[in-house]
Each structure stands twice: as structure tokens, then as C-alpha cells.
């Protein structure tokens, strides 16, 4: 038996999502076997130049793949399913998801040509499945994508309520969330551990209802002249559905723009979520519509430069042009880190005299995560013995644990990625730490986030690059002018002079070197070039020196 194989006990082990908001991967272990809940990714920040996607390092469970029973997905957001096309095939176990989530996953697997290799099993809403010692039931909770689900996981050691991402919404646009009565009954039956979403633990207010957004958007859009553009997260199908209602009520044609918007709408239709939705037009139809008969819904609310809104705002969209009197509504919140991109778009719009409305001005967005009043309600219904906060940065997790204690939960355990928590038997506690890490998708290649490639890339990005090739004969004499190449060194119009100086520096350093050790001689030249560059530019470029030999 490998160490860390679960014995007569119930373990919880997050491999991702418990140091950050993103890349959620959680393991539960019991009697020799593991199940995985979610397999998400996160988006790279500027510290990872040239890289978009970040995945959790699954080495721990890959080494024990024969003990893994399946991957259960709570819902279809990228931070819960995004790593599936890259990491699931190697694990070799089936995926389980409710219909809408499964539709999104199937699309991803098809794009990667993995739809035959990776088994995907569809579980109906409120459906059940059994994996080894785990009896699992899906419990629908409202969220900002259809089919947000908690998992009720019954084990020989007690019941876990894994919330997934959730909120309370008394009047959701799509779906019928679990009722307080149902959740209270779970609590009456006894909940050992609540493993819950910490995203909005700092919010004093409840998240609010989708229906409130509909009412507010109707108010904003009625009697409006000019085109209306509303941007939101494509995955928020309830919000897109709301836009359909607004279009109908204001006599406008609905135009959906953006690849992810098309994909979500297709999966939504296929799974029956867009039954009373108006006909949808594409970007090419905008030309034929009167401005005051047009409602454009598009991607790009986070300022993504490739998304539709950015191209519309900068005037580079092939078919949608905006002018004065038009309106752009951001029906979204700013995700931290995207402020600059969003400001850039809003500035472009302001320069054209286009009015912009955001959640700061009007009630045009509600969050998909629970604020304190909702956390209090849920903990009150479930009355768990143990609370384990997940889905947050360390500060969110600590605050969520403190909040749970303040409403009467006796035991709380704050994980970090890699913490092995024994939930039962005995008091819940961290009993071990296993290695975890981050992987990045660089081009088509998956590599460690702290590996050589990323370190080198960062150095090149920050300092630039100089290469010098020394042409030498058999006797070690320089027989031609060294060939110098520069990338990203700040010399501009002095480039030619700088290159000539480097040639001098290289020749002098080469000739002055005493001894027969070639490696040391190259290093001597390299250091001389680097010092020259530093003295003349203040930068320390990456310098490569090599020999080319001739007879």
C-alpha cells in the first residue's frame, strides 16, 4: 500500500483552489480509494509571459491513478472543468456531470479529439451515483451558470456537503434550486462536513436575484434611442436569457456576438434552457437593423483584447460600428487584474461619445457567490460538525472559517493546496501535506510553472538578449569578426555603434584570456559583454556566446 492511501478514515485533499480563486481540484479518500471533485484551470497573470492557461499539478493522484474511481464535476465554469481536455485522459477514469455541464465538456473534448477516449456520463439533475464507498447525490443550487450543483456525499464515516459555487436566489431566471426545507432536512439527518465556496465571504450583503437585473435592464433600455450593446460572461446563460427578454420587451432584435456566446447558446438550446428565447441574429445582420431596433449581446466584459467588445470599442470590428447616442452596458463585475483592459475599452468608448453603464451606476449585475447572509443561512440549515472553506485565497479561507465558528460550527479546518485533512474518525485535522504545484500551457506544451522555460522567458522579457558567435580556427585564433545579434536591448538608433562596441569587447576579452579551458574562455567573454551592456544601458541582458570552428 502506498503511503497516503486512505485507510479506515475519510480524507479531504485539495490539489487546487485552496490557495486561489481558480483551478479547483478536490479529492475525497476513503477505504483505499479516491474520488475527484472538479478539474479546473485558471488564467495566467503577467508573471507568466506568453502563457494563458494554468493547471494544477496532479502528480499525487496520477501516481495513484489505479485508486481513483471517477471525476465528479459540480458545474461548467472554467475554474471547475477547464483542465479536463488537458489532464483527464491520463487519469483514465469516467467523468460525471449534469446535462448542461456535460454539454460544455463534450464540446471541449471534441475540440481536442478526446471524446472517444474520455468517458463522460450524464447524471440528471438531483441524480445519484455511487463510486466505491461514496454515495453521491447532486443538489442544485443557484449560481451564475445553469446547473450549479452541490454534492451530497454519503460515506461510511458521515455525510459531506460539498457546496460547489452557489448563491441563494429567490427568483432565478433558469432552474429550480434546492429549497431551504430540503437543506434543513439534510441538516436534521446530520452533516459531518461542509466544504464550501469562500469567494464572497467579505460581502456583507446577499448576492441578489437575477430577476432584479432583468427589471433594472428593462428600465435602462426602454425608450432608449440608438444601439444598445450589453456585455456579460458568456457562461451566464440566465443573463443572456434576460437579454432576450429585454430585446422582446423593447422591440429590438437580439444579436449575439462572440464564439463563446454562440457555444453557450447552442448548449443551452440543446439542453432545453432557451425555450422561450427570441430569434437570434449574428453580427453580419447588424447593418440591416435600425439602431433603435438593435440589442447586441457580446463577450469581452473583462477587457479581453481579442473579444468582440474590444474590437467594437476600437472600431476594428468588421460589421459592428458604434456612434454617438449608442449605449454600452457592462452587465458584469471586474475580475481583479483586469482593471487596465476594461478601462482601456471604456476610454475608447468615451472618446467616441458613447455612454457606458456599469454595475457601479445601476443594478446591472449580481454575483454568483454567497455573501455573509447566504453563508449564515446555509450553515444554519445544514448545521455541520466541521466546516472546511475552499474556493478562495488564504485570506478568504481564514475569514470563512472564522465566520463559520461565529455562527456555531464547532470545528473548522483551513486547507492549503496539498493539505491532507482527516475528517473522520476523531477530530478533523490536517495530518499531512502532499506535493502540489502549477502547470502552464505554453503553446501546445504543458510545463511546470516554475520550470526552466518560464524562468528563461521571464528573463528574456525583462532584460532582452545578446548572442555572440566567435569564429575560430584550429589553433584557437579568431579568424573573422564575431557575429552579434540583439533582441530587446534598449539601444534604438545607437544599435550599430553598440554592436560594434560589443564586437570590440568580445575580441578583447577573447584575446586577453589566458589558459586552455574553452568553457572558461567563453564564460569570460560572456561576462565581459554582459558588463558592457549593463554599464551602457542599465540592463542585464541574457548573453549567449558560442564558437564556430573553421579550418
* Residues at the contact surface with Zn ion, assessed by CB under 5 A: 77, 79, 165
For the bound state, the minimum distance from the C-beta of residue 17 to Zn ion, rounded and expressed in Å, comes to 8
**What CA–CA distance (Å, rounded) separates 368 from 207?**
7
**What CA–CA distance (Å, rounded) separates 438 from 450?**
8
Question: E-assigned strands of 31-125?
Answer: 33-37, 42-43, 53-56, 68-72, 95-97, 120-122
**Cα torsion through 210, 215, 218, 220, rounded to 10:** -100
Instruction: Report the b/e string of 333-346 with b at 16+ CB within 10 A.
Output: bbeeebeebbeebb
For the bound state, the minimum distance from the C-beta of residue 75 to Zn ion, rounded and expressed in Å, comes to 6
The answer, yes or no, to whether the previous bond of 365 is cis (omega within 30 of 0) is no
How many alpha carbons fall within 13 Å on the CB side of residue 276?
Answer: 6
Tell me the helix, strand and coil percentages in the chain, rounded to 5: 35, 25, 40
Nearer to Zn ion, 30 or 397 (CB): 397
Nearer to Zn ion, 88 or 141 (CB): 141
How many alpha carbons fall within 13 Å on the CB side of residue 432?
Answer: 14
How many alpha carbons fall within 13 Å on the CB side of residue 480?
Answer: 14
For the bound state, the minimum distance from the C-beta of residue 236 to Zn ion, rounded and expressed in Å, comes to 10
For the bound state, the minimum distance from the C-beta of residue 536 to Zn ion, rounded and expressed in Å, comes to 49
Contact 233, 264 (CB under 8 A): no
Nearer to Zn ion, 77 or 241 (CB): 77
At residue 28, the 3 state secondary structure works out as strand
For the bound state, the minimum distance from the C-beta of residue 208 to Zn ion, rounded and expressed in Å, comes to 16
Nearer to Zn ion, 79 or 326 (CB): 79
For the bound state, the minimum distance from the C-beta of residue 72 to Zn ion, rounded and expressed in Å, comes to 15
For the bound state, the minimum distance from the C-beta of residue 442 to Zn ion, rounded and expressed in Å, comes to 24
For the bound state, the minimum distance from the C-beta of residue 40 to Zn ion, rounded and expressed in Å, comes to 7
Nearer to Zn ion, 15 or 522 (CB): 15
Nearer to Zn ion, 57 or 79 (CB): 79
Closest CA to 6 of 25, 27, 34: 34
Nearer to Zn ion, 392 or 464 (CB): 392
Distance of CA 52 to the CA centre of its chain: 9
Nearer to Zn ion, 6 or 415 (CB): 415
At residue 543, the 3 state secondary structure works out as strand
Amino acid at each position: 500500500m502506498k503511503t497516503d492511501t486512505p485507510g479506515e478514515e475519510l480524507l479531504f485533499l485539495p490539489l487546487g483552489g485552496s490557495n486561489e480563486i481558480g483551478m479547483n481540484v478536490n479529492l475525497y479518500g476513503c477505504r483505499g480509494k479516491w474520488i475527484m471533485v472538479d478539474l479546473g484551470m485558471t488564467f495566467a497573470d503577467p508573471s507568466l509571459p506568453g502563457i494563458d492557461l494554468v493547471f494544477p499539478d496532479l502528480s499525487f493522484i496520477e501516481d495513484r491513478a489505479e485508486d481513483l474511481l471517477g471525476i465528479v464535476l459540480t458545474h461548467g465554469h472554467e475554474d471547475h472543468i477547464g483542465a479536463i481536455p488537458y489532464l483527464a485522459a491520463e487519469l483514465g477514469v469516467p467523468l460525471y456531470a449534469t446535462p448542461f455541464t456535460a454539454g460544455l465538456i463534450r464540446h471541449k473534448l471534441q475540440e481536442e479529439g478526446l471524446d472517444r477516449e474520455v468517458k463522460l456520463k450524464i447524471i440528471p439533475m438531483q441524480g445519484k451515483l455511487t463510486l466505491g464507498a461514496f454515495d453521491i447525490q447532486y443538489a442544485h443550487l443557484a449560481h451564475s451558470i445553469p446547473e450549479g450543483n452541490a454534492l451530497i456525499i454519503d460515506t461510511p464515516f458521515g455525510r459531506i456537503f460539498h457546496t460547489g459555487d452557489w448563491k441563494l436566489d429567490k427568483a432565478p431566471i433558469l432552474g429550480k434550486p434546492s429549497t431551504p426545507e430540503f437543506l434543513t432536512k439534510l441538516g436534521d439527518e446530520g452533516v459531518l462536513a461542509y466544504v464550501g465556496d469562500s469567494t464572497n465571504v467579505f460581502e456583507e450583503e446577499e448576492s441578489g436575484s437575477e430577476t432584479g437585473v432583468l427589471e433594472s435592464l428593462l428600465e435602462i433600455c426602454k425608450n432608449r434611442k440608438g444601439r444598445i450593446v450589453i456585455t456579460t460572461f458568456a457562461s451566464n446563460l440566465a443573463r443572456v436569457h434576460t437579454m432576450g427578454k429585454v430585446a422582446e420587451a423593447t422591440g429590438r432584435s437580439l444579436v449575439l456576438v462572440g464564439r463563446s456566446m454562440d457555444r453557450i447558446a447552442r448548449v443551452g438550446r440543446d439542453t432545453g434552457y432557451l425555450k422561450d428565447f427570441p430569434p437570434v441574429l449574428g453580427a453580419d445582420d447588424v447593418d440591416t437593423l435600425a439602431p433603435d431596433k438593435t440589442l447586441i449581446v457580446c463577450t469581452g466584459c473583462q477587457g479581453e483584447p481579442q473579444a468582440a467588445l474590444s474590437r467594437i470599442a476600437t472600431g476594428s470590428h468588421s460589421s459592428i460600428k458604434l456612434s454617438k447616442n449608442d449605449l454600452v452596458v457592462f452587465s458584469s463585475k471586474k475580475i481583479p487584474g483586469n482593471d487596465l483592459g476594461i478601462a482601456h475599452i471604456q476610454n475608447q468608448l468615451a472618446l467616441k461619445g458613447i455612454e457606458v453603464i456599469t454595475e457601479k451606476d445601476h443594478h446591472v449585475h449580481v454575483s454568483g457567490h454567497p455573501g455573509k447572509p447566504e453563508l449564515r443561512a446555509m450553515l444554519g440549515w445544514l448545521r455541520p460538525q466541521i466546516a472546511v472553506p475552499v474556493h478562495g485565497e488564504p485570506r478568504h479561507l481564514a475569514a470563512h472559517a472564522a465566520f463559520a465558528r461565529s455562527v456555531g460550527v464547532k470545528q473548522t479546518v483551513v486547507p492549503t493546496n496539498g493539505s491532507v485533512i482527516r475528517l473522520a474518525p476523531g477530530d478533523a485535522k490536517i495530518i499531512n501535506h502532499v506535493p502540489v504545484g502549477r502547470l502552464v500551457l505554453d503553446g501546445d506544451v504543458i510545463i511546470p510553472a516554475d520550470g526552466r522555460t518560464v524562468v528563461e522567458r521571464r528573463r528574456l522579457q525583462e532584460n532582452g538578449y545578446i548572442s555572440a558567435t566567435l569564429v575560430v580556427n584550429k589553433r584557437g585564433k579568431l579568424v573573422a569578426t564575431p557575429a552579434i545579434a540583439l533582441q530587446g536591448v534598449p539601444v534604438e538608433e545607437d544599435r550599430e555603434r553598440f554592436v560594434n562596441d560589443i564586437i570590440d569587447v568580445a575580441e578583447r576579452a577573447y584575446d586577453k584570456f589566458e589558459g586552455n579551458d574553452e568553457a572558461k574562455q567563453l564564460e569570460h567573454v560572456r561576462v565581459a559583454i554582459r558588463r558592457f551592456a549593463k554599464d551602457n544601458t542599465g540592463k542585464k541582458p541574457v548573453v549567449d556566446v558560442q564558437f564556430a570552428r573553421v579550418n
